[in-house]
Amino acid sequence: MRPLVEGQRIVFNLAGEISHISSMRDPQRDLNLNASAQLSFLDVCRLHNSSATIVYASSRQVYGSARYLGVDELHPINPVDYNGVHKLTAEGYHSLLRNQFGVRTISLRLGNIYGPRQGIHQDCRGFIDSFMRIALTGGQLVVFGDGTQVRGMLYVDDAVDAFLRAGAAGPLASAVYNIGNPTPISLIDIARQLARVFDGPEPRTVPFPEESKAIDIGDFYQNTERARCELGWAPRVGFEDGLKQTLDFFRPRISERLHAGTPPIS
């Protein structure tokens, strides 16, 4: 990594494993990818380009179950799976570089992100990937629980905008920002919108599988006022518009996206 890091003004640190289920099945792998690898990478940055700004893709998963909504950056930290623990560990490494070595690091706690190029070929990455694939292939969407649990769905363009603003922020930027959509939508409403777009069958609800129930966080959406005030950032793409843009991207590419282990960037 040294020749890639040297001389860069901003480093966008997006590497990592995002699957919560996979982290529970193989915690050592998740530790290696989300903590140990981060420590090695940050050591390279510290030793060979300590003047760079590092913007890290953290996760709202570090909060665990919400004690209040919308969740702000002062909310207690209590991750419910290994993925959240290891993402929090990586955040700690970034904070250590900031506080002890003067490296300018910023962690963005990302909410549920969707949009073109999302990994619809893998179930383990989150519900929106599975929902999108099932809708695109004409299947019936299945929602765990009663479907009333809510999330803040963030379109990928808005997430990119947050990274760019964080990278360009001045020296007084905070160490951590929530980056999500503060307007919640229920999972059953998400499923119904997808079904309507594709004239698919009405979604149905089923009890939670034990594996998923153990790490479900219930209702969750974020307060993003810090990012609005300090970075000038706020989501601009509503869920309906974002959904249309996502589906327009996937329609002509559905076959290649379903069968490629690592889909091409196109």
* Every domain of the chain and the residues it spans: 2-259
Burial class of residue 107 in the structure, from the number of CB atoms within 10 Å of its CB (0-12 exposed, 13-18 middle, 19+ buried): buried
Query: How many CA atoms lie within 13 Å of 257's alpha carbon, on the beta-carbon side?
Result: 22
Class of domain 2-259: alpha beta
Beta pairing partners, 114: 155
Which alpha helices (DSSP H) does 49-186 contain, by range? Answer: 82-101, 127-136, 156-168
Ranges in the chain, pLDDT < 50: 262-266
Q: What is the pLDDT of residue 123?
A: 65
Strand, coil or helix: what is 14? coil
Query: Is the distance from CB of 159 to CB of 110 less than 8 angstroms?
Result: yes
Q: What is the pLDDT of residue 153?
A: 97
Q: What is the pLDDT of residue 124?
A: 59
Query: Is the distance from CB of 87 to CB of 16 less than 8 angstroms?
Result: yes
**What is the distance between the alpha carbons of residues 188 and 252, in angstroms, rounded to a whole number?**
26
Q: What is the pLDDT of residue 126?
A: 75
Query: Is the distance from CB of 239 to CB of 185 less than 8 angstroms?
Result: yes
Query: Is the distance from CB of 147 to CB of 188 less than 8 angstroms?
Result: yes
Start-to-end CA distance of the chain, whole Å, equals: 26
Q: From the CB of residue 60, how many other CB atoms can be counted at a distance below 10 Å? A: 26
**What is the distance between the alpha carbons of residues 214 and 210, in angstroms, rounded to a whole number?**
6
Query: Is the distance from CB of 98 to CB of 249 less than 8 angstroms?
Result: no
Q: What is the pLDDT of residue 258?
A: 80
Tokens of 247: 């589906």
Q: What is the radius of gyration, based on Cα positions, of the chain? A: 19
Q: What is the pLDDT of residue 263?
A: 45
User: What pTM, to 2 d.p., does this model score?
Assistant: 0.92
Tokens of 13: 């640190």
